[in-house]
Structure 1
Protein backbone atom coordinates (compact mmCIF):
# COMPACT_ATOMS: atom_id res chain seq x y z
CA UNK A 1 0.00 0.00 0.00
CA UNK A 2 1.36 3.41 -0.98
CA UNK A 3 1.64 6.09 1.70
CA UNK A 4 -0.02 9.38 0.88
CA UNK A 5 2.14 12.49 1.20
CA UNK A 6 1.76 14.64 4.30
CA UNK A 7 -0.42 17.74 3.83
CA UNK A 8 1.37 20.93 4.89
CA UNK A 9 0.41 24.59 5.22
CA UNK A 10 2.82 27.20 3.88
CA UNK A 11 3.15 30.93 4.29
CA UNK A 12 5.95 33.47 4.43
CA UNK A 13 7.91 35.57 1.99
CA UNK A 14 10.06 34.83 -1.00
CA UNK A 15 10.11 32.33 -3.85
CA UNK A 16 9.79 28.59 -3.28
CA UNK A 17 9.44 25.44 -5.32
CA UNK A 18 6.73 23.11 -4.02
CA UNK A 19 6.32 19.77 -5.80
CA UNK A 20 8.39 21.17 -8.69
CA UNK A 21 6.11 24.21 -9.15
CA UNK A 22 7.54 27.69 -8.61
CA UNK A 23 5.55 30.02 -6.36
CA UNK A 24 5.92 33.39 -4.64
CA UNK A 25 4.74 33.13 -1.02
CA UNK A 26 4.25 36.86 -0.48
CA UNK A 27 1.07 36.99 -2.59
CA UNK A 28 -0.42 33.91 -0.90
CA UNK A 29 0.44 35.12 2.60
CA UNK A 30 -0.92 38.63 2.18
CA UNK A 31 -4.05 37.57 0.27
CA UNK A 32 -5.04 34.28 1.89
CA UNK A 33 -2.85 33.72 4.94
CA UNK A 34 -1.56 30.31 3.84
CA UNK A 35 -1.82 27.60 1.21
CA UNK A 36 -1.91 23.82 1.60
CA UNK A 37 -0.08 21.21 -0.45
CA UNK A 38 0.88 17.55 -0.24
CA UNK A 39 4.58 17.44 0.63
CA UNK A 40 6.40 15.69 -2.20
CA UNK A 41 9.28 18.18 -2.39
CA UNK A 42 9.95 21.68 -1.09
CA UNK A 43 12.87 23.96 -1.97
CA UNK A 44 13.35 27.37 -0.40
CA UNK A 45 16.22 29.55 0.74
CA UNK A 46 15.11 29.42 4.39
CA UNK A 47 12.50 27.15 5.98
CA UNK A 48 11.11 27.23 9.50
CA UNK A 49 8.99 24.29 10.61
CA UNK A 50 6.48 25.47 13.19
CA UNK A 51 4.95 22.84 15.47
CA UNK A 52 2.11 24.94 16.95
CA UNK A 53 -0.78 26.11 14.74
CA UNK A 54 -1.35 29.34 16.70
CA UNK A 55 2.31 30.25 16.30
CA UNK A 56 2.10 29.44 12.59
CA UNK A 57 -0.82 31.84 12.08
CA UNK A 58 0.78 34.67 14.06
CA UNK A 59 4.44 34.47 12.97
CA UNK A 60 4.13 36.34 9.67
CA UNK A 61 2.22 39.11 11.44
CA UNK A 62 5.14 39.61 13.87
CA UNK A 63 8.21 38.83 11.77
CA UNK A 64 8.64 39.62 8.08
CA UNK A 65 12.08 38.33 7.11
CA UNK A 66 12.78 38.10 3.42
CA UNK A 67 12.92 34.68 1.83
CA UNK A 68 11.44 32.69 4.73
CA UNK A 69 9.01 29.83 4.21
CA UNK A 70 7.00 28.78 7.27
CA UNK A 71 5.69 25.20 7.29
CA UNK A 72 3.06 23.59 9.50
CA UNK A 73 1.76 19.99 9.42
CA UNK A 74 -1.16 18.96 11.65
CA UNK A 75 0.40 15.60 12.50
CA UNK A 76 3.95 16.95 12.55
CA UNK A 77 6.75 16.03 10.19
CA UNK A 78 8.77 12.85 10.60
CA UNK A 79 12.35 12.42 9.39
CA UNK A 80 11.22 11.06 6.01
CA UNK A 81 9.07 14.19 5.51
CA UNK A 82 11.94 16.48 6.50
CA UNK A 83 14.22 14.83 3.92
CA UNK A 84 11.86 16.19 1.24
CA UNK A 85 12.69 19.76 2.32
CA UNK A 86 15.82 21.34 0.83
CA UNK A 87 16.93 24.72 2.23
CA UNK A 88 20.09 26.65 3.06
CA UNK A 89 18.69 27.14 6.55
CA UNK A 90 16.18 24.78 8.20
CA UNK A 91 14.88 25.59 11.70
CA UNK A 92 12.21 24.04 13.92
CA UNK A 93 10.25 25.97 16.52
Structure 2
Protein backbone atom coordinates (compact mmCIF):
# COMPACT_ATOMS: atom_id res chain seq x y z
CA UNK A 1 0.00 0.00 0.00
CA UNK A 2 1.49 3.34 -1.07
CA UNK A 3 1.25 6.24 1.38
CA UNK A 4 0.31 9.67 0.12
CA UNK A 5 3.05 12.29 0.56
CA UNK A 6 2.88 14.67 3.51
CA UNK A 7 1.50 18.14 2.68
CA UNK A 8 3.87 20.96 3.70
CA UNK A 9 3.77 24.75 3.71
CA UNK A 10 6.99 26.58 2.86
CA UNK A 11 8.13 30.18 3.16
CA UNK A 12 11.38 32.04 3.72
CA UNK A 13 14.27 33.32 1.65
CA UNK A 14 16.63 31.74 -0.81
CA UNK A 15 16.47 29.13 -3.52
CA UNK A 16 15.19 25.62 -2.87
CA UNK A 17 14.40 22.52 -4.86
CA UNK A 18 11.02 21.03 -4.04
CA UNK A 19 10.03 17.80 -5.78
CA UNK A 20 12.90 18.37 -8.26
CA UNK A 21 11.62 21.85 -9.24
CA UNK A 22 13.67 24.97 -8.49
CA UNK A 23 11.85 27.70 -6.56
CA UNK A 24 12.89 31.07 -5.13
CA UNK A 25 11.09 31.46 -1.79
CA UNK A 26 11.34 35.24 -1.35
CA UNK A 27 8.81 36.25 -4.05
CA UNK A 28 6.36 33.56 -2.92
CA UNK A 29 6.69 34.61 0.73
CA UNK A 30 6.26 38.33 0.11
CA UNK A 31 3.41 37.91 -2.39
CA UNK A 32 1.43 35.03 -0.90
CA UNK A 33 2.83 34.29 2.57
CA UNK A 34 3.59 30.62 1.81
CA UNK A 35 3.22 27.88 -0.76
CA UNK A 36 2.01 24.32 -0.25
CA UNK A 37 3.34 21.10 -1.79
CA UNK A 38 3.23 17.36 -1.29
CA UNK A 39 6.66 16.48 0.17
CA UNK A 40 8.44 14.12 -2.19
CA UNK A 41 11.88 15.77 -1.92
CA UNK A 42 13.26 19.04 -0.56
CA UNK A 43 16.75 20.49 -0.93
CA UNK A 44 17.70 23.77 0.72
CA UNK A 45 20.70 25.35 2.40
CA UNK A 46 18.92 25.73 5.76
CA UNK A 47 15.58 24.35 6.90
CA UNK A 48 13.67 25.22 10.06
CA UNK A 49 10.78 22.91 10.84
CA UNK A 50 7.99 24.79 12.58
CA UNK A 51 5.68 22.53 14.57
CA UNK A 52 2.94 25.09 15.31
CA UNK A 53 0.85 26.54 12.47
CA UNK A 54 0.21 29.85 14.26
CA UNK A 55 3.96 30.30 14.76
CA UNK A 56 4.56 29.45 11.09
CA UNK A 57 2.24 32.26 9.94
CA UNK A 58 3.78 34.77 12.37
CA UNK A 59 7.29 34.11 11.03
CA UNK A 60 6.76 36.40 8.04
CA UNK A 61 6.75 39.35 10.48
CA UNK A 62 10.03 38.23 12.09
CA UNK A 63 12.01 36.87 9.13
CA UNK A 64 15.52 38.03 8.45
CA UNK A 65 16.79 38.08 4.87
CA UNK A 66 18.90 34.93 5.07
CA UNK A 67 18.80 31.65 3.20
CA UNK A 68 16.22 29.84 5.30
CA UNK A 69 13.34 27.62 4.32
CA UNK A 70 10.63 27.45 6.99
CA UNK A 71 8.52 24.30 6.77
CA UNK A 72 5.24 23.37 8.43
CA UNK A 73 3.91 19.84 7.89
CA UNK A 74 0.27 18.98 8.42
CA UNK A 75 0.23 16.04 10.80
CA UNK A 76 3.91 16.46 11.69
CA UNK A 77 6.94 14.77 10.13
CA UNK A 78 7.92 11.16 10.59
CA UNK A 79 11.35 9.59 10.00
CA UNK A 80 10.32 8.63 6.47
CA UNK A 81 9.49 12.31 5.75
CA UNK A 82 12.75 13.56 7.27
CA UNK A 83 14.72 11.36 4.85
CA UNK A 84 13.23 13.39 2.00
CA UNK A 85 14.76 16.64 3.33
CA UNK A 86 18.38 17.41 2.41
CA UNK A 87 19.95 20.52 3.92
CA UNK A 88 23.21 21.74 5.42
CA UNK A 89 21.32 22.68 8.57
CA UNK A 90 17.97 21.40 9.84
CA UNK A 91 16.47 22.92 12.99
CA UNK A 92 13.11 22.56 14.69
CA UNK A 93 11.06 25.10 16.63
* TM-score relative to the length of structure 1: 0.97
Match of 1:84?
84
Task: For 1:13-92, list aligned pairs within 5 A.
Answer: 13-92=13-92
What is the DSSP-based 3-state SS (H/G/I as helix, E as strand, rest coil) of the residue aligned with 2:56? helix
Paired residues, number = 93
> Mind listing any 5+ residue stretches in structure 1 that lack a counterpart?
none
Query: Quick one: distance in 2 between partners of 1:52 and 1:65?
Result: 22
Task: Tell me the CA shift for residue 61 of structure 1.
Answer: 1.2
Task: Tell me the CA shift for residue 60 of structure 1.
Answer: 2.5
Query: Quick one: distance in 2 between partners of 1:6 and 1:60?
Result: 23
Aligned CA RMSD, in angstroms, stands at 0.7
Query: Quick one: distance in 1 between partners of 2:24 and 2:76?
Result: 24
Runs (4+) of structure 1 exceeding 2 A deviation are none
> Mind listing any 5+ residue stretches in structure 2 that lack a counterpart?
none
* TM-score relative to the length of structure 2: 0.97
